[in-house]
Amino acid sequence: MTKDRVSPEANKDKVVIFDTTLRDGEQSPGATMTHDEKVEIAEMLDEMGVDIIEAGFPIASEGDFEAVSEIARRARNSVICGLARANFKDIDRCFEAVKHAARPRIHTFIGTSPLHRAIPNLTMDEMADKIHETVTHARNLCDNVQWSPMDATRTEWDYLARVVEIAIKAGATTINIPDTVGYTAPRESADLIRRLIAEVPGADAVIFATHCHNDLGMATANALAAVEGGARQIECTINGLGERAGNTALEEVVMALKVRGDIMPYTTGIETTKLMAISRRVASVSGFPVQFNKAIVGKNAFAHESGIHQDGMLKNAETFEIMRPEDVGLSETNLVMGKHSGRAALRSKLGELGYELADNQLADVFVRFKALADRKKEIYDDDLIALMQDEERSGEDRIKVEYLRVVCGTEGPQEASLRLVIDGESVSADATGDGPVDAAFNAVKALVSHSARLQLYQVSAVTEGTDAQATVTVRMEEDGRIVSGQSADTDTVVASVRAYVNALNRLVMRRQKSGSDAREIRYTDAAG
């Protein structure tokens, strides 16, 4: 028995957290992260206590391979896992990436439902042979092997039991049961795991995992039900990020287990006070804002507006709160800052919000804070978070907004004068459009050649009041590449242009890699 192969009986109170934000989460259209962003998120997951990080799909692209390799080298505590389809080429490439980790894992899979078997046109027996061969190959490379029958919840019971037994005999140490299309319900989820453990030979010697999608809004419920059925690993993502309706949200299952330990007596080892910080960072780098009413990490998760709720909260917080804001890393106070606030106060407040800055970083942020304070009478926590996210997004951008002036009103056309700095050189353009945002975007197009189509333009207020910052999100597509951009400013047009430019920077970066980071294959492609 290896150090990572633990009998469920020996560790029955521990639920292993397997985070796939960097693999399944990144498959959301437009959620592609840079190499440095992936490494940063992985380090945050490691520090937070995530047991296993699925760092990517190494065969998918050179960019994925390099990111998984770098994450593997840097990991301190977490097992680092890579995904591989059921073929030797995928598995070999996966191991080449994860072997740098102190604790590597290969995760190989094949679609077992009738619909998925039809894709490679394999008979049941042919697929069974393929599972035995590929899992054996993976185990010969790595002691820690996870195997998944994709679309397990729509696979015939007899065949599912058969292939799970084959994978166990071939050396798989974890058996993951994916609800790939979010089809199942909690009762079914629990029963399926329970039956597999009870009836499949050798099932008592491996760990069963659950991987749920949220197409019917039941991912968290299905994952927790699977734990009741005997699963001891939950696969999840930060903010529930993922394609279609997303995956089981890490923060939801972790806090559910923590709050309802009376009926679910399991531990995770996750440092929950770090949840808000990583939620915000993932939202920033992915370009997918967290909905206000999202459980645990949404802006309104701990807000109480009705008179009855507010009165109850003042008398006893437990009347309407089942967990404390500080449990998930939210500051207990929302002290107002302003233009007279100094560096020490700013550093302290940012520390409460989960941002630890070096002196040079603080100096840069302080300049932007003062500029914001000159435009806003009062600066709240959400303003500072938006400021920090803007700072993080700008990074090493090749294209930066230097000057913008718009003319708008009841009579058109509206006009925009724009000056950008591109690779250190200042360039200018004037343009007109149907409204100030359209005019400004046309000015950007005149300076940065591209054929990207704007798929999404979204504006939301950060705080209340006429001087509130606006957060703008854009999503663009060019030749199959989908990129997102975000920015915040008290001027909505300025925020719009900066978000547009932020997306273009991501697009330019991906172009320059000459396809090296483009998805050459997807994990859903038929295994060859």
Question: pLDDT averaged over consecutive 10-residue blocks of the chain (528 residues)?
Answer: 41 90 86 86 97 96 93 97 97 98 98 93 95 98 98 97 98 98 97 98 97 98 98 98 95 97 95 94 86 88 50 50 85 63 82 81 84 75 77 73 93 92 93 95 94 90 78 87 84 94 84 51 59
Rounded Cα distance, 102 and 12, in Å: 25
pLDDT of amino acid 136: 98
Closest CA to 49 of 233, 272, 207: 272
Q: Is 414 helix (H, G, I), strand (E, B) or coil?
A: strand
In CATH, the architecture of 396-512 is 2-Layer Sandwich (3.30)
pLDDT of amino acid 304: 39
What are the residue ranges spanned by the domains of the chain? 8-286, 331-393, 396-512
Helix extents (H) in 337-406: 343-352, 359-375, 381-394
Distance of CA 352 to the CA centre of its chain: 23
Residues pairing with 228 in the sheet: none
* pTM (2 d.p.): 0.82
* DSSP, res 148: E
pLDDT of amino acid 394: 63
Rounded Cα distance, 126 and 49, in Å: 40
Rounded Cα distance, 87 and 108, in Å: 9
Rounded Cα distance, 505 and 396, in Å: 9
Rounded Cα distance, 508 and 505, in Å: 5
Closest CA to 19 of 76, 77, 79: 79
Rounded Cα distance, 469 and 486, in Å: 13
pLDDT of amino acid 319: 56
pLDDT of amino acid 371: 81
Residues pairing with 108 in the sheet: 84, 147
Q: What is the CATH number of domain 8-286?
A: 3.20.20.70
Measured in residues, the chain has a length of 528
User: 């990074």: which residue's tokens?
Assistant: 395
pLDDT of amino acid 8: 42
